[in-house]
A and B are shown apart, each in its own frame.
Chain A
Amino acid sequence: MTAILEVSGLTAGYGASPVLHGLDFDVPVGGVATILGANGAGKTTTLRAVSGLIRAAGEVRFAGERIDRLAAEDVARRGIAHVPDGRGTFVQLSVEENLRLGAYVRRDPAGVARDFERVFDLFPVLKERRRQQAGTLSGGEQQMLAISRALMLRPRLMLMDEPSFGLAPLVVREIFRIMRMVNREEGVAILLVEQNASLALDLASRAFLLETGRLVVGGSAADLKADDAVRRSYLGY
């Protein structure tokens, strides 16, 4: 048992038009895997299919258990935290309420209280703004809140949808530093989809390249970095 998430033959789409055509990939236990691809390749759809937001055909196993027929709320309850595209902030609620919602399914108040301290340590700005309406935060702060909300679930796997999207380079670096820390120190596995290939390949150990709904390359992140096609199309040198 070396993979926390194993996906095979994943096919999904919206209505009658399929977006994904039989994807096979996996995320190692405590590891980071990344799916790279251009706009419209199907990255967001892949994460939505894994977390149960859209119906999918194929097999998805989480820690050995089939989860491909589960509703999104039950996938979350098994310890998969999906940080969606657009960050999914509850904009009318306070920062603190957003975090409390992240821990909604947990029944260990003491552990939740410790995790509040932990995310406030990771992102001190959230502590300053805990009473503030979440919709008034800047984009970077909302991304930090989204990651913190996911961490409040005490997930074993995080699905991250373009955490760098629309953010200033400094903020992006900070967010990736913290994702790396969470992964290294606490063993939370991460499945990251990104357009920013060089950042993603630095963080990940495994990488896959998605083109119009098909995985065209897969392997170690180092191999992908050295791959000529990847380098030219996604790394730009």
Chain B
Amino acid sequence: MEAFLHQVLSGLATGSIYAIVALALVMIYQATHLVNFAQGEMAMFSTYLAWTMLDAGFPYWLAFAGTVALSFVLGVAIERIVIRPVEKAPVLAVVIVFIGLLVILNSVAGWIYTYTIKSFPSPFPDRTILGGYVSAHELGVMAVTMGVLALLFLFFRFTPLGLAMRAAAQNPVSSRLVGIRVGWMLALGWGLAAAIGAVAGMLVAPIVFLDPNMMAGILLYGFAAALLGGIDNPAGAVVGGLAVGVLENLSGAYLVGTELKLTVALVLIVGVLLVRPSGLFGRVVVSRV
């Protein structure tokens, strides 16, 4: 029973990281209806930026905030420079650009920082709490995830800019007619996705260690989380992330063993697409023809 509870709690912790990755995917999906395959590598690159700042002697939370801000700017820049030219191109062209971005970021990170694994610090104390069931880092990860979700909710629900971003995603033409600069709203979406991804990278790096390939598996879980929760719904993405984390841990411990854990994510992706393509909380779009 104790082992079971432990599996569930640590599943919720890793699930929180999947949830943040899924949130980042949702940011771009909402605006463009495309899944950003480079999301993981963007997060990985951000984490290296944080590592550089920490290496230079910045205090942790300053490096954290600096990385989030810098990632936001880089995300906006990527949209303006790389994505904008293919805005009206067929879907496949954009997907290829995403994959190109993935490969480039991965290689550049390897070139600058080498492929040697680096350790990355956690801002939370190195001990277990709640009677040993959960580590301080795991609890911290959950708290940060909820914080990110709450901030996003407040931003989209209560600020004019958040409203404008939702409007631009839903109805670009009407948005332009009320004076919203739709192109910049897309760029902001990329900035948010990059910033959120940076948070995920910095939280997962203490667990999986920092190297250019660290996000590969996590992105896959993030996809599964986003799909399960409904890829157009931020709250759904978080629920999906937590569910995937717990499911992964339990099936790893009791069903398939650690080697086949990643398969669980793939089975989940295929399963959701077959049974309920809009996810648990996603909007079912019905169009009259």
Contacts and interface: CB of A to CB of B under 8 A. Distances in A.
A55 interface: no
Interface string A34-78: 000000000000000001010000000000000000011110110
Given A100-B160, A101-B163, A91 B170 contact: yes
Given A93-B167, A104-B160, A72 B177 contact: yes
Given A93-B166, A104-B160, A84 B174 contact: yes
Interface string A84-115: 10001111110001001110110000000000
Interface residues of B, number: 18
Interface in B267-284: 283
B182 A73 contact: yes
Contacts of B163: 93, 97, 100-101, 104
Interface string B164-175: 101100110111
A86 to B, nearest CB: 9
A104 B178 contact: yes
A101 B173 contact: no
A84 B171 CA distance: 12
A29 to B, nearest CB: 22
Contacts of A156: none
Contact of A88 (B160, B173, B179): B173
B176 A71 contact: yes
B33 interface: no
A88 B177 contact: yes
A104 B166 CA distance: 13
B166 to A, nearest CB: 7
Contacts of A51: 177
Contacts of B166: 92-93
B173 A84 contact: yes
A100 B175 CA distance: 12
B180 interface: yes
B233 to A, nearest CB: 12
Contacts of A89: 171, 174
B177 A90 contact: no
A149 interface: yes
B54 to A, nearest CB: 40
A72 B178 CA distance: 9
A215 interface: no
Contacts of A93: 163, 166-167, 170
A81 B160 contact: no
B118 to A, nearest CB: 44
Contacts of B181: 73
Contacts of A72: 176-177
A23 interface: no
Contacts of A33: none
B284 to A, nearest CB: 13
B170 A73 contact: no
Nearest to B182: A73
B174 A76 contact: no
A14 B125 CA distance: 63
A101 B170 contact: no
Interface string B239-266: 0000000000000000000000000000
12 contacts: A53-B173, A53-B176, A71-B176, A73-B180, A74-B179, A77-B179, A81-B177, A82-B177, A88-B173, A89-B174, A92-B166, A104-B163
Interface of B: 160, 163-164, 166-167, 170-171, 173-182, 283
